[in-house]
Structure 1
Amino acid sequence: MGGLPKFTRPKGGQELSCNLYVANCGPAVGLTLDRIASAFSSFGTLKGVYPADETGCRVIVSYHDHTSAHSALKALNQNPSRDLGGRSLHIRYSIERPSWPAKASDSVQVYLEASELNIPGIYLIHDFVSPQQEEQLLAAVDARPWHSLAKRRVQHYGYEFRYDIRNVNTHQPLGEIPSFVACVTERIPLFRNLNEAVDISLDQLTVNEYPAGVGLSPHIDTHSAFEGSIYSLSLSGSCIMEFRAYAGDTNSSNLLRKAIYLPPRSMLLLSGEGRYAWQHYIPHHKVDMVKDTMIRRGPRRVSFTFRKVRKGPCQCDYPQFCDSQKVKHDD
């Protein structure tokens, strides 16, 4: 997991800097970051080589001193580099932007493990699928039609989730969950090692594609729509998921907030209190702060959310958040 500092042009033009913006250079043009670092390290000690953006065609080369950066710029700018396959580079100075000042109201500690959250019923398994399985899953959904929402695209299997009513129509099944997710569903029983009570029988799948910077509004999945175990697999990109709950009733100003980092190929389980009583939320960020490290989100994040459709009213232990029990009490 690596942080990506933010860089910009110096305000005074080509003033000296320890950092170089290098165009026509990056993984998209066949040059790995390690190969770029090897070529530029001959001019001085590097702090690092970073992608400058999501294109893969531009990088930031960062030195410990501006003398080394000046030597590299003078030698390589618009000149073919033998160490980089004869590619002609376009280089200018760049400066690192300071991290954005987090508002006190926005700051929330981000954990890497679900056990650190201390929210009953929330579990996270890293590397739930392999990189090869990740590619196969993404190829499978990209070969099928997407439905466009305001800011993201979705696919539904088993049953359609209706966003207008935040529920499903159990009288209109879409068929079985597709066979291409077998590599995921066959590993769901791993969660029994963490919580013997979790439900591993699933009949509904929603696939969401989030472009960079797009998140998810705070919500609790409708109690009457689904049973108590919700599994969410993150592919292609990472994000932070924040959990929110009020100490006392929902009119209280004492809002509890906790967050976890979801890396690609990780599987999150929401069950029990974490599923029924805590809102979950994905901030609308292009860069996430994780333990003082800035992590840039990829150009897309695709989530596979597996659930079991509920066939009767919910009878959970959290009536203040339960639409089934609120209706019963109102009657």
Structure 2
Amino acid sequence: MGLPRFARPKEGDGESSPNLYVANCGPAVGLSYDTIASAFSSFGEIKGVYAADESGARVIVSFLESGSADSAFKALNGRPCPHLGGRSLHIRHSVLQPQSSIVHHTVPVALMASDLNIPGLYLFHDFITAEEEKELLLAVDNRPWKSLSKRRVQHYGYEFCYDTKNVDTKQHLGALPSFVSSILKRVSSSPDINDHANLVLDQLTVNEYQPGVGLSPHIDTHSAFEGSIFSLSLAGPCIMEFRRYTSGSWVRNITSNTDGQIENPDSCTELSRKAIYLPPRSMLLISGEARYAWQHYIPHHKIDNVKGTMIRRSSRRVSFTFRKVRTGPCQCEFPQYCDSQSDR
């Protein structure tokens, strides 16, 4: 079961709440939950200290009695707390949301793809060096970016059309840029990649993510790209989650997210969720079942919990995603997730 969820109380309800929303307080500013609980315990018995959001700088302090919360509020709001290094706290009363409105998402995060047991998913750590990473970032920063609603992108080879959720094979942008030649050569010559190395990759999308910005759940459109997908992570880490849903009306009710990729409708029944940590300079290979039947997405977090360690996302994360443009209909073994086979 996940942690409780709290919200600001309605007008007139706040003073009776035993829960306090405390800003400028949490792991992101160097304060552990135990330290926070100890500082507030002088006002009454503490039920728990919880993260208020993904920032790591705001917490919920939950008292057993409302009077204790009132005393702490009056003593500490807007004032330096001597038990927390003199840090000034910004406090509001908070209320527990009804249990029925809470959706708990607790997915253990793996460090190795083999731990997920998803066929066709592989992760190669330190696929490039730190120096190569710097050179790649410099190369794309010297090229023009296209701004989407929440991130910036660059397309090479073919442009992904977010309106049509596909690529226009008649609009070839040219060969992939020379600054990725060494990456393509490494992919084709790596003994660990085996059969996937024979795929001639001709499309590259570069994405830049700011802290807290993720990617909506989707499966890359079957009819747009064939075979394996390679995604190189640069500059910052993130967690990528994979979901597989049962079939049924999945394809018939197909929808798309703001990035134009396939999403699941609300009518889908979730079957499995798994997550993996992607460090900088790692290469993720998504093939077979992982590519055609599992959604992948990046949670919209500023701080990720990896094996009990809170890891703050860096000022930017840049991904290089290499794909092969499909020239005919998809004939994959997963028709329930395939737009090419949806009418059969």
* TM-score normalized by the length of structure 2: 0.66
d(CA) in 2 for partners of 1:130 and 1:9?
34
Letter of the 2:122 partner, please give it: Y
Q: Percent identity?
A: 62
Give the structure 1 partner of residue 244 of structure 2. Answer: 245
Q: Once the two structures are superposed, what CA deviation does each residue of 1:64-108 show, in whole Å capped at 9, x if it has no partner?
A: xxxxxxxxxxxxxxxxxxxxxxxxxxxx6459xxxxxxx772100
Aligned to 1:111: 110
1:182 deviates by 1.6
Q: Distance in 2 between matches of 1:94 and 1:210?
A: 31
Cα separation, 1, equivalents of 2:196 and 2:133: 28
Q: For 1:300-311, what aligned pairs fall within 5 Å after superposition?
A: 300-311=316-327
Q: Which residue of 2 aligns with 1:157?
A: 156
Confirm whether residue 278 of structure 1 aligns to residue 284 of structure 2.
no
Q: Which residue of 2 aligns with 1:216?
A: 215
Letter in 2 for 1:193: D
Q: Per-residue deviation at 1:296?
A: 0.3
* Residue 17 of structure 2: aligned partner: none
Q: Which residue, 10, 25, 28 being the options, matches 1:6? A: 28
- Name the CA shift for 1:124/1:277 in 2 (closer, same or farther; >3 Å): same
Match of 2:312 in 1: 296
Q: How much does 1:191 deviate?
A: 5.2
Q: Give distance in 2, aligned partners of 1:140 and 1:325.
A: 39
Kept in 1, the 8 Å contact 2:243–2:270? The answer is: no
Structure 1 position 229 matched with structure 2 position 228: yes
Partners of 2:324 and 2:105 lie apart in 1 by 34
Q: 1:264 corresponds to which residue?
A: 280
Write the distance in 2 (CA, Å) between the matches of 1:191 and 1:128: 10
Distance 1:9 1:141 in 2: 38
**Matched residues in 1 for 2:323 and 2:153: separation?**
15
- AA at the equivalent of 2:294: W
Q: Is the partner of 1:186 in helix, strand or coil?
A: helix
> Residue 144 of structure 1 aligns with which residue?
143
> Aligned partners of 2:247, 2:338: CA distance in 1, in Å?
16
Q: Deviations over 1:121-176 (max 9, x none)?
A: 01000011100000000000000000000000000000000111110000010000
Contact 2:233 2:319 in 1 (8 A): yes
CA distance in 2, matches of 1:280, 1:106: 15
**Structure 2 gap ranges (5+):** 1-25, 33-37, 40-54, 57-84, 89-101, 251-266
Conservation of the 8 A alpha-carbon contact between 1:228 and 1:276: no
Asked if the contact 1:110/1:260 (under 8 Å) is kept, the reply is yes
Per-residue Cα deviation, 1:235-284 (whole angstroms, up to 9, x for no partner): 00110000001245444534310000000000001000000000001000
C-alpha distance in 2, partners of 1:248/1:192?
35
> Deviation of residue 192 (structure 1)?
4.6
- Is the CA contact 2:206–2:318 (under 8 Å) kept in the aligned structure 1? yes
TM-aligned CA distance change 1:9 to 1:107, over 3 Å:
closer
Q: Is the 8 A contact 1:199 1:228 kept in 2?
A: no
Instruction: State the SS of the aligned residue for 1:299.
Output: coil
Deviations 1:167-220 (A, max 9, x none): 000001000000011221111135552442554310000000000110000000
In 1, the alpha carbon distance for the partners of 2:275 and 2:320 equals 20
C-alpha distance in structure 2 between counterparts of 1:163 and 1:129, whole Å = 30
Distance 1:311 1:290, change over 3 A: same
Counterpart in the other structure of 2:5: none
**Do the aligned partners of residues 152 and 132 (structure 1) sit closer, same or farther apart at CA in structure 2, a change above 3 Å counting?**
same
TM-score of the superposed pair, with normalisation by structure 1: 0.68
Distance 2:310 2:291 in 1: 28
Length, aligned pairs only: 243
